[in-house]
Amino acid sequence: MHHDDIYRLATELVAGKLPLESFLQQIAGAHGAQLDGVTLDLDRRRRCGYPEVIFGEGKSIPTLVQIVRRLLAERLPVLATRVSPDKADALLAEFTTGRYNPVARTFRAPAPIPDETVQLGQVAVVTAGTSDLPVAEEARETLEWMGVNVTMIHDVGVAGPHRLPRHLAALREADAIIVVAGLEGALPSVVGGYVDSPVIAVPTSVGYGASFGGIAALLGMLNSCASNVTVVNIDAGFKAGYVAGLITQRIWKGR
């Protein structure tokens, strides 16, 4: 529930226009909403800084429409991940302010009354190769939903290490760096050796048979000798973006 709504309810309560029981019921309902098969967390932005994110896989189109409609009714910006094209078409038809990224498979819709805030901080998203773009784009969409500036650096994998140095100035300006790589997953360690910021490594399921669907990259990143490298799960662009966003937002709010 938006603070304006809470203020209105409190004013009506004090003025005697709203019964106490009704006031308590509406305030209690502000923390969650029961939809068909879904319990929507409406209090997450107050607790965690950002609203609940919708995971699109396994949800029907009517369920997704219900969730998006309720979040927008609460004046919250919407981010849905892993949204298939058919589901995206249905959402775009229902919510004309929405935007679908077919590479990232994300759907975003701004709050009806956007927060009057400027974008804070800078995160660089680096890919080893073009096959890693879907995961990198998911991270970028997440960061932009969080209000963070993003610099994209593509196709600088360790098979051509000469491509990385020309991007070092942009990397050193970033508050956090996301490095997305498959195969042997060596790129995060290389990037980490050049910068003094946290590096969030994202292993992808890109590679031949011995990559074991990204497990080889995951284990390689977990064993990185670069002290500033940490790792999220395979293909977890959203998680990397969210963590990088929290890091940079706290840095800039502190400033």
Phi, psi of 154 (to 5 degrees): -110, 150
pLDDT of residue 171: 96
Q: Where are the domains of the chain?
A: 1-30, 34-115, 122-254
Mean pLDDT across the stretch 226-241? 97
Per residue in 73-131, pLDDT tens? 888 999 999 999 999 999 999 999 999 999 999 999 998 876 665 678 999 999 999 99
| DSSP state for residue 105 in the 8-state scheme | T
Can you tell me the distance from the alpha carbon of 150 to that of 174, in angstroms, rounded to the nearest whole number? 9
Per residue in 197-230, pLDDT tens? 999 999 999 989 899 999 999 999 999 999 999 9
Mean pLDDT across the stretch 241-247? 96
Cβ contact 184:241 at 8 Å:
no
Cβ contact 75:50 at 8 Å:
no
Per residue in 166-202, pLDDT tens? 999 999 999 999 999 999 999 999 999 999 999 999 9
Buried b (16+ CB within 10 A) or exposed e, 25-50: eeeeebeebeeeeeebebebeeeeeb
pLDDT of residue 107: 98
Per residue in 8-58, pLDDT tens? 768 877 888 778 777 666 665 556 566 667 788 888 888 888 899 999 999
Can you tell me the distance from the alpha carbon of 180 to that of 177, in angstroms, rounded to the nearest whole number? 10
Cβ contact 92:119 at 8 Å:
no
Cβ contact 85:73 at 8 Å:
no
pLDDT of residue 31: 60
Cβ contact 138:105 at 8 Å:
yes
Mean pLDDT across the stretch 241-251? 94
- When mean pLDDT is compared across 111-115, 155-159, 199-203, 245-249, the lowest value belongs to 111-115
Closest listed residue to residue 64, CA positions, set 77, 51, 50, 80: 80
Which CATH architecture does the domain made up of 122-254 adopt? 3-Layer(aba) Sandwich (3.40)
Tell me the C-alpha to C-alpha distance, in Å, between residue 91 and each of 13, 34, 94, 110, 136.
38, 20, 5, 13, 23
Can you tell me the distance from the alpha carbon of 133 to that of 135, in angstroms, rounded to the nearest whole number? 5
Q: Let me know if the fold of 34-115 is the same as that of 122-254.
A: no
Single-letter residue type at 167: H
pLDDT of residue 32: 58
pLDDT of residue 212: 95
CATH code matching the domain that covers 34-115, chosen among 1.10.3470, 3.30.110, 3.40.390, 3.40.1700: 3.30.110
Half-sphere exposure of 235 (CA within 13 A, CB side): 12
